[in-house]
Amino acid sequence: MTDLTPMMKQYNSIKSEYPGTILFFRMGDFYETFGDDAILTSKVLNITLTSRGHGKGGRIPLAGIPYHALDSYLHKMVRAGHKVAICEQVEDPKKAKGVVKRDVVRVVSPGTVLEDSMLQGRDNNYLVTISKGKGYGLAIVDVSTGEFTVTEVAGRDAAKKLKSELVRYYPAECLVDPDIGCRGFEEIVEGDLACTITELDAGAFSQETAAEIITEHVGEHELDGMPLALSAAGATLAYLNEMQKGSVGQIKGIRAYEISDFMMLDSVTLRNLELFGNIRDGGRTGTLFELMDKTRTPMGTRTLRAWISKPLMDIGEINRRLDSVEWLFNDRTLRAEVREYLDEVRDLERLVARSVHGSANARDLVAIKTTLAVVPHILRTLKTKLPDLLSEIETGIDPCEELAMMISESIVEEPPLGLREGGIIREGYNKDLDELREMAVSGSKWMTTLEEAEKQRTGIKTLKIKYNKVFGYFIEVSKSYLDRVPEEYIKKQTVANAERFITPDLKEKESQILTATERGTALEYELFGDVREKVAEKAAILQGTASALGNLDTLVTLAEVASLNDYHRPKVNDSSNINIVDGRHPVVESLLAERFIPNDTKLDMKRNRVVILTGPNMAGKSTYMRQIALITLMAQIG
């Protein structure tokens, strides 16, 4: 270490704090990687591997990426299963005494992604933590939406139940108890899951520590009777704190559930029924989800997927959904109006999560405003007398009118993507900003006036006042007019067909303009941060609205699909009978050019426990069996 340069000493010190991660080390306009990190990064990103001196120790491998292209390269690294620590310069290099101060601002892994560009469309991006004791505890979180649920599995077939729960969520990343280990996890999932696996220290699953961290983050909880779930939840929050540098405010609560509340669907069932992926290539085409996904919002898409993967077992809850779907089914006009308004709803869950995290940009806030603007229309469209579940949903939708108004008054309608260049805050929102902008504009007008005056005074028709970041403002004169250049012009640069000059007055005005512009841009960023913070303060209410809109969208979608395909409301009770009249395989029917021939099914636990199917290959035996399973599943999702 003593032979290293000060910068490399700093790098090694920071790198040692983040074992198992690739360190993206900010140096000016680039993020650099060194040593083994550089070798791996160059292979994954297909970028040039070079080297640089690092003191008397010789040379070290080096690979870098431009800072403005971080998201695209980060996506490739994370998609390849790697964790990346983002190390930024945390002080102005111009003011630094010695090596610029740097620190890791966040660590990104497959299960902790927030950026839209790195997420898979409307799908959830789950991080799952598994603890082990007399059974297993499971914590499931999507940091991009704030969803956090826990459960426990126990009994002789606990490992089988655990696998079934895991395939419901298909996590991007799993954190495992050392009593399970990476190899033990792979034995449990039997090759049916491909995700990044991290084995945590045993101390991460301390119940005492878990109780403290959960209380600190979400306040009161209902996990005291679920020790394994408590351990998994605590380990999850501790991991997220480390990865997100304490910024996990989008998680407002933890919801516990019993696996007995939902129909058990193992990986074989999911695959053979082609609920989400077809048998041919694993794609969405020809699946039940493709058939039913007429949702209008990202929250609705995720909710529908969750409902299909977790059919209800409680008859009362099933009928509550069916009541609402039937009510919407019977009012085509209302259904069409609601769907039209839902078209304007953006991904409120993820927009709020980014706002809380401090990574939302101005366009994200405009998208929140756009969503809130249609909420009053949706509420007016829903009639006063609603079925029980729809009434609950309506109550959970809050238009947050004051917040929407504040965003509208502060942020321009079409803001730039970046936050440091200005052009975000509306004129009239802040008096100081308006004054700084006026100073900059008047300075620009002064430049235009000066250009015309100098043309008249010197007789140089081609004289122009220009600006670039290197020289600032300058006077450019083409070479054919150089004999007319006044003595007070100070030559600054020669280019191909012209020469560039400055004057003391020009430089003085430039200083005024740039100072006003810089101060204005800095003030805009500060004002935007204040607005974003006010959005974050309403996170819990906004998340409740997002969830309610997702549920509404899903119910409306189920009603729409039923209407389009002539489905009928099932009668669900606690008997063991299955009685289907004129049943049709929903997916096969949608793929056929001709009419699907309906058939009946009668099964019970007495005289009709078994059906013997005969017939040649491709006669429809497996279609009939899958049809019964799908109709039963569809009845239990509502």
Q: Which domains does the chain have, with CATH numbers?
A: 6-108 (3.40.1170.10), 117-265 (3.30.420.110), 270-416+533-565 (1.10.1420.10), 431-531 (1.10.1420.10), 578-637 (no CATH)
Kindly report which listed range (98-102, 572-576, 608-612) carries the lowest average pLDDT score.
608-612
Per-residue pLDDT, averaged over 116-134, amounts to 91
Residue of higher predicted confidence among 217 and 220: 217
pLDDT value of position 229: 94
57 — pLDDT class (breaks 50, 70, 90):
low
3-class state of residue 16 by DSSP = helix
Would you say residue 619 has pLDDT above 80?
Answer: no
pLDDT value of position 193: 82
pLDDT value of position 224: 81
Distance CA 506, CA 282 (A): 66
350 φ/ψ angles, rounded to the nearest 5 degrees: -75, -35
Would you say residue 571 has pLDDT above 90?
Answer: yes
pLDDT value of position 551: 98
Strands 578-583 vs 30-34: parallel, antiparallel or unpaired:
unpaired
Would you say residue 112 has pLDDT above 70?
Answer: yes
pLDDT value of position 291: 96
Would you say residue 54 has pLDDT above 70?
Answer: no
Distance of CA 260 to the CA centre of its chain: 30
Per-residue pLDDT, averaged over 587-613, amounts to 85
**Cα→Cα distances 337→303, 328, 553, Å:** 20, 11, 12
Would you say residue 1 has pLDDT above 70?
Answer: no
Would you say residue 238 has pLDDT above 60?
Answer: yes
3-class state of residue 108 by DSSP = strand
pLDDT value of position 242: 86
Would you say residue 340 has pLDDT above 90?
Answer: yes
pLDDT value of position 344: 97
Kindly report which listed range (91-100, 119-128, 154-163) carries the lowest average pLDDT score.
91-100
633 — pLDDT class (breaks 50, 70, 90):
very high
Which DSSP category does 487 fall into?
T
Per-residue pLDDT, averaged over 19-32, amounts to 92
pLDDT one-digit tens code per residue, 366-417: 999 999 999 999 999 997 789 999 999 999 999 999 999 999 999 999 999 8
Sign of CA dihedral 512, 515, 521, 522: negative
Q: What is the pTM of this model?
A: 0.88
pLDDT value of position 570: 95
Would you say residue 194 has pLDDT above 90?
Answer: no
515 — pLDDT class (breaks 50, 70, 90):
confident
The per-residue b/e assignment along 312-342, b for 16 or more CB within 10 angstroms, e otherwise, is beeeeebbbbbbbbbbbbeeeebbebbbebb
Would you say residue 484 has pLDDT above 60?
Answer: yes
In which element (H, E) is residue 447 found?
A: helix 431-458
pLDDT value of position 245: 76
Amino acid at 336: A
Distance CA 177, CA 231 (A): 10
Per-residue pLDDT, averaged over 268-275, amounts to 92
627 — pLDDT class (breaks 50, 70, 90):
very high
- Residues with Cβ < 8 Å from 452, sequence gap 6 or more? none
Kindly compute the dihedral angle of the four CA atoms of residues 71, 74, 76, 80, in this order, to the nearest 10 degrees.
Answer: -150
pLDDT value of position 478: 94
pLDDT one-digit tens code per residue, 300-314: 999 999 999 999 999
Per-residue pLDDT, averaged over 346-371, amounts to 95
434 — pLDDT class (breaks 50, 70, 90):
very high
User: In the structure encoding, which two tokens stand for residue 423, read together?
Assistant: 């052009």
Counting residues of the chain whose pLDDT is more than 70, the rounded percentage is 98
Return mean pLDDT, the chain.
91
Distance of CA 460 to the CA centre of its chain: 57
Residue of higher predicted confidence among 244 and 104: 104
